[in-house]
């Protein structure tokens, strides 16, 4: 049952019985605020012109009528112009029975819409770092949430496998690598390539310093540094498919992909489609040529191609360099074209940091000017804030990033130490202890990152995230494990709690049922707002509410068989919804801890 719709229809019947029908009238009904008694609140002010009475008198009249004529409503109270309505315990008992019977509770029926969501989008010149972790976790979770809302979701990864940054790593390896490979060094391939990206920057800075000392300005030195000129030449040779450069590119990218796959598996994220910029930039170039013919773009004297967006409140944007090489915008045009053509998408969501807000403004506008408004109007940039550390921002060129692999390993190690200290691994085999530690460490990392609104810059504190108390992943995971332990003990004792119970529910039990009934609406809201944080907040509140209930009420030791059965059923449904909600965040929950 859609509770909001049920309430609205019941209230409408009473309002129309008292004051007559009103065409197109929208009743203002909302959940009662926590500080007041009641379940749902009707705002009566818009009805005063029809009742011709004071707000209090109108609210009282409607309250008296609805409680007398609608069996689901047991009482009401009036606070100024607000009518607070309380539903009968049997109403919530019926809702609980519906939850128990609904195998796919929280999942919406198919909408027929196809949505592609792009996340990760790494460069093949360095390993994944903490910023990439937020991107991957956010993208994967939003994909899970959109699928739960009934959409067909395609999880996509666009690999930035070409460009000047890739050539920097390649050139540094060629100049200083002495044939080093992942096998010879014992390093993951992405780490090895990242090492030479840092190496390039070190030599580049040294050459700039020398040129400045010789009398050049800093800008001139940056342009004229021999190693940078050589990297630019390597990019031109790559785009010309020079066999030597291309073979090196394929080899080093292969190393990186093997490394990425290990990290993705550890993070628990995956993709349905992988696009490579090396395969889309030529399509982007053809779109630029199309734009030149249409007069959308123009060519400057140095042969570079631009679009003038000053009339739209933006600036002039480069689309092709003078030497014919492409830029990010060129590639993104080609990728967008291919995706919409190949997949017949209804929507395309890009999960990219907020430093690219302007880029996506331009992308949508350029597509519109090229005649692809049907696509551009269905592009969403899911912008998110950066992840910062107590020490400040991270810089890949300087090698000061928090490596994703190191962070995952540290989280699992810390989770094991803290779990052992608290006795949560007592009785576990070594294999079970490792599995639980991995689940808790990754759960802590994922929850800590996803509970924050995506738009906010966040400060990541690893130790704070692994806490079995408070708003953390481990607290929620432990609550699930606690409930599963109760249910196992019931099974071992031969207690059957599958049949319906006729026991009357306590107010605290009704509150838990109310919380459970909110789950489908929570999933819907999280999907509409692309916000896993909404799911995180809900699951935490549910876990917290259950822990309070469990503290005050015995379950297994309850002597009344019907009451015990009700409490076991309630615990089982709380565990089910916790597991379902955490799955939408990409987090596993343990059966025991």
For 520-534, give the DSSP string: HHHHHHHHHTT-HHH
What's the pLDDT band for 52 if we cut at 50, 70, 90? very high
CATH number at residue 485: 1.10.730.10
Range name among 21-35, 95-109, 126-140, 352-366 with the lowest pLDDT average: 21-35
- Taking phi over 0 as left and psi of -120 to 50 as alpha, with beta for the rest, 282 belongs to alpha
What's the pLDDT band for 314 if we cut at 50, 70, 90? very high
Could you tell me if residue 396 is inside a domain? no
- Taking phi over 0 as left and psi of -120 to 50 as alpha, with beta for the rest, 86 belongs to beta
Interatomic CA distance for residues 408 and 404, integer angstroms? 6
Dihedral angle of Cα 270, 275, 276, 279, to the nearest 10 degrees = 160
Could you tell me if residue 111 is inside a domain? no
Assess whether 17 and 145 both reside in one domain. no
pLDDT at 391: 61
pLDDT at 401: 67
User: Can you spell out the DSSP letters for 51-72?
Assistant: H-S-HHHHHHHHHHHHHHH-TT
CA–CA–CA angle 308, 311, 315 (5° rounding) = 50
For residue 237, give the nearest of 226, 229, 227, 246 by alpha carbon: 246
Q: Is the pLDDT assigned to residue 436 strictly greater than 50? A: yes
Assess whether 144 and 285 both reside in one domain. yes
Q: What are the CA-CA distances from residue 552 to residues 257, 482, 561 (Å)? A: 53, 15, 18
Give the pair of three-digit tokens for residue 529: 């707002």
Q: H or E stretch including 83? A: strand 82-87
CATH number at residue 265: 3.40.50.620
Structure confidence by residue, pLDDT tens digits, 500-517: 888 999 999 999 999 999
Q: What is the pTM of this model?
A: 0.91
Return the top range by mean pLDDT from 15-24, 95-104, 327-336, 373-382.
Answer: 95-104
Let me know: does 352 contact 381? Beta carbons within 8 Å: yes
Assess whether 417 and 384 both reside in one domain. no
Could you tell me if residue 406 is inside a domain? no
Assess whether 326 and 361 both reside in one domain. yes
Average confidence (pLDDT) over 426-455:
91
Assess whether 135 and 218 both reside in one domain. yes
pLDDT at 396: 40
Structure confidence by residue, pLDDT tens digits, 354-404: 989 999 999 999 999 999 988 888 999 999 988 876 665 444 444 456 789
Assess whether 157 and 234 both reside in one domain. yes
pLDDT at 399: 44
Average confidence (pLDDT) over 336-352:
89
pLDDT at 339: 87
pLDDT at 397: 41
Average confidence (pLDDT) over 33-47:
94
Could you tell me if residue 106 is inside a domain? no
pLDDT at 387: 81
Could you tell me if residue 399 is inside a domain? no
Could you tell me if residue 479 is inside a domain? yes
Residues of the chain above pLDDT 70, percent: 98
Interatomic CA distance for residues 593 and 580, integer angstroms? 19
Number of folded domains that form the chain: 3
pLDDT at 168: 97
Dihedral angle of Cα 306, 310, 311, 313, to the nearest 10 degrees = 130
* Domain that includes residue 191, residue range: 119-388
Assess whether 433 and 573 both reside in one domain. yes
pLDDT at 198: 93
Average confidence (pLDDT) over 442-455:
93
Q: Choose the final residue of a domain: 388, 403, 419.
A: 388
pLDDT at 393: 46
Residues of the chain above pLDDT 90, percent: 79
Structure confidence by residue, pLDDT tens digits, 532-561: 999 999 999 999 999 999 999 999 999 999
């Amino acid at each position: 049952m859609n509770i909001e719709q049920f309430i609205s229809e019941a209230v409408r019947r009473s309002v129309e019985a008292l004051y007559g029908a009103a065409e197109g009238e929208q009743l203002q009904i909302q959940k009662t605020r926590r500080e007041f008694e009641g379940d749902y609140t009707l705002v009566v002010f818009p009805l005063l012109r029809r009742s011709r009475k004071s707000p209090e008198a109108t609210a009282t009249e409607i309250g008296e009528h609805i409680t007398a004529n609608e069996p689901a409503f047991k009482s009401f109270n009036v606070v100024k112009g607000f009518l607070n309505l309380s539903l009968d315990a049997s109403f919530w008992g019926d809702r609980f029975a519906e939850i128990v019977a609904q195998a796919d509770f929280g999942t919406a029926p198919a909408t027929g819409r196809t949505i592609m969501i792009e996340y990760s989008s790494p460069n093949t010149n360095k390993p994944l770092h903490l910023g990439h972790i937020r991107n991957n976790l956010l993208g994967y979770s939003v994909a899970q949430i959109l699928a739960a809302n009934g959409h067909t979701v395609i999880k996509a990864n666009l690999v930035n496998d070409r460009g000047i940054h890739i050539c920097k790593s390649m050139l540094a390896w060629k100049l200083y690598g002495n044939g080093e490979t992942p096998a010879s060094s014992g390093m993951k391939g992405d780490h090895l390539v990242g090492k030479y990206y840092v190496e390039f920057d070190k030599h580049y800075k040294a050459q700039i310093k020398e040129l400045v000392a010789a009398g050049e300005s800093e800008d001139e030195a940056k342009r004229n540094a021999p190693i940078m000129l050589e990297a630019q030449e390597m990019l031109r040779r790559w785009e010309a498919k020079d066999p030597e450069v291309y073979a090196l590119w394929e080899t080093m990218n292969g190393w990186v992909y093997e490394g990425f796959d290990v990290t993705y598996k550890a993070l628990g994220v995956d993709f349905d489609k992988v696009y490579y910029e090396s395969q889309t930039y030529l399509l982007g170039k053809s779109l630029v040529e199309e734009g030149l013919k249409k007069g959308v773009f123009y060519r400057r004297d140095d042969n570079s191609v631009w679009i003038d967006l000053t009339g739209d409140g933006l600036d002039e944007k480069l689309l092709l360099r003078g030497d014919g090489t492409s830029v990010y915008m060129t590639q993104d045009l080609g990728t967008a074209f291919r995706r919409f053509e190949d997949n017949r998408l209804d929507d395309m969501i890009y999960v990219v940091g907020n430093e690219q807000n302007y880029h996506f403004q331009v992308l949508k506008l350029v597509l519109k000017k090229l005649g692809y408004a049907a696509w551009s109007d269905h592009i969403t940039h899911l912008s998110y804030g950066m992840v910062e550390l107590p020490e400040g921002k991270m810089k890949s060129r300087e090698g000061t990033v928090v490596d994703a692999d190191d962070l995952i390993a540290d989280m699992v190690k810390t989770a094991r130490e803290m779990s052992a200290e608290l006795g949560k691994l007592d009785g576990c085999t070594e294999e079970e202890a490792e599995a639980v530690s991995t689940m808790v460490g990754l759960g802590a990392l994922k929850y800590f990152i996803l509970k924050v609104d995506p738009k906010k810059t966040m400060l990541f504190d690893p130790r704070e995230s692994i806490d079995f108390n408070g708003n953390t992943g481990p607290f929620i995971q432990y609550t699930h494990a606690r409930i599963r332990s109760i249910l196992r003990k019931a099974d071992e004792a031969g207690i059957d709690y599958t049949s319906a119970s006729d026991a009357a529910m306590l107010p605290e039990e009704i509150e838990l049922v109310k919380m459970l009934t909110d789950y489908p609406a929570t999933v819907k809201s999280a999907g509409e707002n692309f916000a896993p944080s909404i799911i995180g907040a809900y699951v935490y509140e549910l876990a917290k509410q259950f822990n309070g209930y469990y503290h005050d009420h015995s379950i297994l030791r309850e002597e009344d068989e019907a009451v015990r059965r009700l409490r076991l059923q309630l615990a089982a449904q709380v565990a089910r919804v916790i597991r379902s909600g955490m799955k939408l965040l990409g987090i596993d929950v343990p059966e025991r801890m």
